[in-house]
Amino acid sequence: MDPLLLARLQFATTTSIHFLFVLVTLGLVTVLVYLQTAWMITKKPVYERLTRFWGTLYLINYVLGIATGLVMEFQFGLNWSGLSHYAGNVFGAPLAMETLVAFFLESTFLGMWIFGWHRLRRGVHLALLWGVAITAYASAFWVMVANSFLQHPVGYEMRDGIAHLTDFGALLRNQSFGMAFGHVTFAALTVGGFLVAGISAWHLIRRTADYGLFRKSLRIGVVTASIGTVMVTGFGFAQFGYLGAIQPTKFGDEYDKMAAATDFAARLGGSPADYLPPEWIGAPLGFMIIIGNLLGLVVFLLPLFFRDWIIRLRAPLYILLFAVPLPFVAAIFGWLFREVGRQPWVVYGLLKTSDAVSPVSGGTMLASFLGFTALLLTLAVTNWYLMARYAHTGAADPSLGRQHGSPVPDPEPRPEPVLAA
């Protein structure tokens, strides 16, 4: 079996699954910051209960997401030793920063936030959650800095066939970084908003006892999803302005693609076809744009969800419920276009994917692929099962932040049923 193909399949599987965890983490922590800040300012118990409910879902996703991240880190060393040898001096610097931020600062703040309920002053406790959110976005920041070097290598010089970092500021000013980072962060906001709105819609459809609670979180989710959708679309289209210049084989017109591929072939050998990405790479981009336009309809429906009679009808709620998977699918399509679109390069224009793979046998790579994929799928299924199970139980008495011996809050009265057309 081809070790390169197996290594690429493993990388695609690992990063795709981990990316979905990251999107939920960033999206939910943003909603949590708003909820706990609102609780701090207004002193309304509804915001405390919402913080505890959505905070528990956030923690489930965070814990299992960390495990998928560790699996992804392992595969870099096991499968892509050529990349580490060639560009580790550059690529490794922002990844080291990400590790310090995510595994030290973010986890420390989060642990103190979890166990600080009713032990710390409310302002200190809120500051810890802000710290969790800021370090979460900082972690995404450094990952995108590293990825942008692979897309458009800058700030380096070659010595004895190895790239060495010479200008750290150039990594931060990378043309491939700014808009892509904004695109990813607002994609996370879109995912978090639709997840909150969808789960809330499910409880409103079922007419659960916490009707008023989930009516409020539904509106928060819809507003968050609307902001995220508008901004992620803007940052996405903004990248079209420079992609053709820095990666002509991915996003240039037919003449630019062939000219760039011919230049690579003349310098490095082979035929121009060897330096062009797969012909199907435009399909994920097209599907992502279609899904983005569909999700954008929520922006036009936003005012309706602030009218109680609309919320009492089931049809709009089902729309939000069935829309939950769409931003996840769009994110995967966007990742495929960004990563597969630069093939056959792992560092665009410098290091080919075939030269970056580790020199191991096909059998070893197959065993690695099957083992890691089974582990990742187990973590993913466990995560979604636990989240779905907890979300289904409702917010009558969230375990996060519960004081020992405290009474379970009385549920709000159920609304009178309204016949839907």
- pLDDT tens-digit map of 10-47: 999 988 899 999 999 999 999 999 999 999 999 999 99
Compute the mean pLDDT over every residue in the chain, rounded to the nearest whole number.
88
What is the tens place of the pLDDT at every residue in 169-209?
999 999 999 999 999 999 999 999 999 999 999 999 988 77
Average pLDDT over residues 132-147: 94
Reported pTM: 0.90
Average pLDDT over residues 395-399: 73
What is the tens place of the pLDDT at every residue in 315-351?
888 989 999 999 999 999 999 999 999 999 999 999 9
What is the tens place of the pLDDT at every residue in 191-201?
999 999 999 99
Q: Indicate whether 136 pLDDT > 80.
A: yes
The three-state DSSP-derived secondary structure of the chain is CCHHHHHHHHHHHHHHHHHHHHHHHHHHHHHHHHHHHHHHHHCCHHHHHHHHHHHHHHHHHHHHHHHHHHHHHHHHHHHCHHHHHHHHHHHHHHHHHHHHHHHHHHHHHHHHHHHCCCCCCHHHHHHHHHHHHHHHHHHHHHHHHHHHHHHCCCCEEEECCEEEECCHHHHHCCCCCHHHHHHHHHHHHHHHHHHHHHHHHHHHHHCCCCHHHHHHHHHHHHHHHHHHHHHHHHHHHHCHHHHHHHCHHHHCCHHHHHHHHHHHHHHHCCCHHHHCCCHHHHHHHHHHHHHHHHHHHHHHHHHHHHCHHHHCCHHHHHHHHHHCHHHHHHHHHHHHHHHHCCCCEEECCCEEHHHHCCCCCHHHHHHHHHHHHHHHHHHHHHHHHHHHHHHHHCCCCCCCCCCCCCCCCCCCCCCCCCCCC
Q: Indicate whether 408 pLDDT > 60.
A: no
Q: Indicate whether 289 pLDDT > 80.
A: yes
For residue 414, name the pLDDT band (cuts at 50, 70, 90).
very low
- What pLDDT is recorded for position 219? 92
For residue 416, name the pLDDT band (cuts at 50, 70, 90).
very low
What is the tens place of the pLDDT at every residue in 256-283?
899 999 999 999 888 999 999 998 988 9
